[in-house]
Amino acid sequence: MSPLLSPRVDSSAPGELIAIDPAGQRALLRAGTRHALVDLTTGRATGFDLPEAAVLRQCWSPDGDWLALRLDRDTPALLSAANGEVVSAPLSRALGETALVSPPSVAIAAPRLAVRVGRALQLFEIESGTFHPLDHRANVLPPAATPVLDPAGERVAFRDADQATLVVLDLATGRWTQRREASPERRFDLIWSPSGQRLTCAGTLWDLVNGEVYVAPPPDDEAEESLDWLADDELLALRTRRTLDAGGHWVAEQRLVRLSTRFEVVETLVTSRELADPIVPVGFSALRWWPSHAAVLLSHHQRHKLFRISLEERRLTTLAPLVAEPRALAAPERVARAFEVAPRALPAETRRREVPGFDAYVHQRLDVPDWFDGDWACGPASCVILAAHFGKLPRWPVEVSHGGRHTSAYGAYIPGLWCVDGQRFSDEQVDPKGNRARGAYSYICPPGSSFVAADWGRMEMFLRLNGLEVQPNLANVDGLDWDVVWARLVEQVDQDHACLVSVTLRHPNGRTIEHIFVAAGYVVYADGTRAMICKDPYGNWTGVGQAGGGLGGGDNVRYVVNRSGQGAPAAGLIRVKFIRGVWRAAPRPQGVVLDDSTGAFTRYGPVEVWQFASSHGLGSPGRPLPPGPASGMWWAPSTPFGPWKSYAIWQARIERPGRYRLFAFVPSEFATTTAARYFLAQSANGTAPPPPLADDQGPLPFVGEVVQARYNDEWVPVGDVSLTAGWTHVYLSNVTGETDRRVGFDAVRLDSLQ
């Protein structure tokens, strides 16, 4: 595999390889909501826009004429590979029409599907066209478990994520067996071996013949892996690792290797290196074994091609470039939803008010880069919508293919890497598919929590960092006191303030979610109905017949606000948690800069520990920064343990009490610590309270921690504090819990937030 240099992002790339049909004639690829069937002889691709569709790797019928998928959250279906016709499979009425359904899997040697409907397992016999539930006493699956049939259609395996176990059900005997997962945090992809005697999932291989379980060694840092079975006793693995080369550039290193069932490397087939970004996916995205050609088929993140590697020749070749059929891809097909009805006509409007000029909108799933799954990003998307409306974000055009190819003006801010007011949105958080993202998503849904959820404090800070004001907690309301909700909405919109709203929504099909969106107006109708005019980043959640709320109609959707005493409606807006006004903040002057070269800065500790760098720091020669005091900065080697011995104090006199934001200037050199901890105390006479110089002394008030290694000549926000009039002292020591790091001491500033 020859090196691939200087990758060029091609927005027309077909997506990730999902499966190859049993005859080796067609491949299925997916990019966002778009799926493409590719003829492997001609390279011709037929595309389908299926916004809510889900499909597994084992999806093809034995003859390759059709494949199984789930259209939306409750509709299994079969798609004809020949003409694109979609046939919905009927659900069991005994389980109700609103039960959630897993993507179906297909047994290659038997014409049947396995589907989870609600908490029960069902089989669909294709010849008779009927579902029937399995009559087993233990037929209760854990939430979200997706059953996968073995190649003979005799056993079903699924993953119990709650218990971190793999479970296998023998369909003939009804016997259940299970094994603990060895690495439940690894990427989930359950795959049967060709004979059905072994299966792999999340770094675990289970040999059903002898009952042995083998564990894949943990990947190197930043490593990713795509697996497939080569034979019943061998696997193929595409391993990707991002590293920095000697020039400081990110490089994606990829290896295609053969593995034994004990995950031992038998042979490295080919290797590749490609210039990369630390977050955006690059290089080959997935591999599948192509037995009819004794070759491996690979998809690429950016290139509009599929790649083939013959195991005999060990040489990378390109299949015919993918050619889009104009009918399918220029005018994507949308699968008609069952039971769609026209929305009820509303009476005439008697009063209406909207925030002027509010035309910004970002769909959290359809307007984001193709590599990112925005299903969990309602909070970040809502905050980006607000920042874009108030003119705080310049357009960042990105070509996306979700829901049809188009240009998104602001969607890249959700997972991308960017900076505002010295704050780099560079932390990493995973999306629902395990892709690592940064930007508004990782800042507002911070890493480290047990589940990915928006943090209200982070949303408020994000908006303030972008120069917006946010109404404080007085906007909290009782979720069922609808008159209070309405009063808050009218109060804010009448001042031309948009509203950030946290709610519980219920779809007409019964599904309920906790959700965040933007309210940009309100309307009252002649019959007394009241509705908020919303920018819902997920779509119209109350649209009847629209799966999971419907991906369309989220821009200016109207959600009815009941009157107090009416209770929660059967569908729509059933509870409001928060409703906070957001508006453009008045410009604030920058606070006084306290540099290391002024009398406001004092160093303490052994002289031999401190090092001075005259060419770095705020105002140093060559620093493209606003003018400040004299140049230079100090640094000290980190130490893992206290008490403090080497530290510095900046001090300033505060004339006006109130809320302030502390910033620290981080130079581009000599600041490599990942845990610079800033503290702050006040005094009446200008004498700084003593820091913890002994183990038995109490700590100072903590403000925030800065990963100095991430920044390059930037002002970085540390945290917000409430100050009284008098002297303020800011502390930083070299006690970081690390060795072989450097702590940079340069300038700080305090900006008033009033």
pLDDT value for 202: 77
Which pLDDT band, with edges at 50, 70 and 90, does 336 fall under?
very low
What token pair was written down for 43?
Answer: 């390279």
pLDDT value for 5: 26
How far apart (Å, rounded) are the C-alpha atoms in residues 743 and 512? Answer: 49
pLDDT: is 156 or 87 the higher one?
Answer: 156
Cβ neighbours of residue 637 closer than 8 Å, sequence gap 6 or more: 609, 734, 740, 741, 742, 743
pLDDT value for 356: 92
How far apart (Å, rounded) are the C-alpha atoms in residues 510 and 683? Answer: 59
pLDDT value for 535: 95
CA distances from 186 to 181, 182, 189, 535 (A): 10, 9, 9, 36
How far apart (Å, rounded) are the C-alpha atoms in residues 651 and 186? Answer: 48
Our measurement of the distance from residue 560's CA atom to the centroid of its chain's CA atoms, rounded to an integer in Å, reads 30
Judged against a pLDDT cut of 60, whether residue 679 lies above it is answered with yes
Judged against a pLDDT cut of 70, whether residue 223 lies above it is answered with no
pLDDT value for 144: 66
CA distances from 227 to 14, 51, 316 (A): 20, 26, 18
pLDDT value for 11: 37
C-beta of residue 181 within 8 angstroms of C-beta of residue 165: yes
What token pair was written down for 352?
Answer: 């209406």
Beta bridge pairs of residue 268? 257
Query: What percent of the chain is predicted at pLDDT more than 70?
Result: 81
Q: What is the mean pLDDT of residues 422-426?
A: 77
Q: What is the mean pLDDT of residues 9-15?
A: 47
Q: What is the mean pLDDT of residues 692-702?
A: 80
The 10s digit of each residue's pLDDT in 447-468 is 765 457 888 888 988 998 888 9
pLDDT value for 14: 61
The 10s digit of each residue's pLDDT in 81-119 is 877 777 776 544 434 444 567 888 888 777 788 887 777
pLDDT value for 484: 82
The 10s digit of each residue's pLDDT in 122-142 is 787 776 666 666 644 445 677
Mean pLDDT of the chain: 80
How far apart (Å, rounded) are the C-alpha atoms in residues 281 and 238? Answer: 14
Task: Give the total residue count for the chain.
Answer: 754
Would you give the DSSP letter of residue 609?
A: G
- By CB neighbour count within 10 A (0-12 exposed, 13-18 middle, 19+ buried), where does 351 fall? exposed
The 10s digit of each residue's pLDDT in 552-596 is 678 888 998 888 777 667 678 888 888 889 999 877 667 888 888
pLDDT: is 1 or 223 the higher one?
Answer: 223
Q: Which amino acid is at 675?
A: A
What token pair was written down for 419?
Answer: 């900076």
The 10s digit of each residue's pLDDT in 478-534 is 445 788 889 889 989 999 999 999 988 877 666 778 899 999 999 998 888 899 999
pLDDT value for 129: 66
Place of tokens 């697996």: 227
Judged against a pLDDT cut of 70, whether residue 546 lies above it is answered with no
pLDDT value for 637: 96
Mean pLDDT comparison of 104-118, 282-296, 354-368, 463-477, highest-scoring range:
354-368
Lowest mean pLDDT among 170-184, 427-441, 517-531: 170-184
Beta bridge pairs of residue 271? 255
Strand 323-324 to strand 44-49: parallel, antiparallel, or no bridges (unpaired)?
parallel
Query: What percent of the chain is predicted at pLDDT more than 90?
Result: 29
- By CB neighbour count within 10 A (0-12 exposed, 13-18 middle, 19+ buried), where does 153 fall? buried
Judged against a pLDDT cut of 60, whether residue 326 lies above it is answered with no
Which pLDDT band, with edges at 50, 70 and 90, does 37 fall under?
confident
pLDDT value for 6: 25
How far apart (Å, rounded) are the C-alpha atoms in residues 521 and 345? Answer: 20
Judged against a pLDDT cut of 80, whether residue 666 lies above it is answered with yes
pLDDT value for 318: 83
Dihedral (Cα; 128, 134, 135, 141), 10-degree rounding: -160
C-beta of residue 663 within 8 angstroms of C-beta of residue 718: yes
Which pLDDT band, with edges at 50, 70 and 90, does 57 fall under?
confident
Q: What is the mean pLDDT of residues 680-693?
A: 90
Q: Which amino acid is at 539?
A: G
pLDDT value for 328: 38
CA distances from 696 to 638, 639, 642, 647, 691 (A): 21, 19, 11, 18, 11
pLDDT value for 346: 53
pLDDT value for 619: 72
Q: What is the mean pLDDT of residues 283-293?
A: 89
Judged against a pLDDT cut of 80, whether residue 361 lies above it is answered with yes
> 432-446: b or e for each residue (b if 16 or more CB lie within 10 Å)?
eeebbbbbbbbbbbe
How far apart (Å, rounded) are the C-alpha atoms in residues 165 and 163? Answer: 5
Q: Which amino acid is at 231?
A: A
Judged against a pLDDT cut of 80, whether residue 338 lies above it is answered with no
Quote the radius of gyration of the chain (alpha carbons, Å).
29
The 10s digit of each residue's pLDDT in 388-407 is 999 999 999 888 987 778 88
Which pLDDT band, with edges at 50, 70 and 90, does 2 fall under?
very low
C-beta of residue 47 within 8 angstroms of C-beta of residue 84: no
Lowest mean pLDDT among 360-374, 617-631, 697-711: 617-631
pLDDT value for 94: 39
Q: What is the mean pLDDT of residues 205-210?
A: 88
Judged against a pLDDT cut of 50, whether residue 272 lies above it is answered with yes
pLDDT value for 453: 82
pLDDT value for 302: 72
How far apart (Å, rounded) are the C-alpha atoms in residues 280 and 537? Answer: 23
pLDDT value for 277: 63
C-beta of residue 47 within 8 angstroms of C-beta of residue 70: no
Judged against a pLDDT cut of 80, whether residue 312 lies above it is answered with yes
Angle, in degrees to the nearest 10, between helices 456-465 and 378-389: 20
How many Cβ atoms from other residues are within 10 Å of residue 231's Cβ?
14
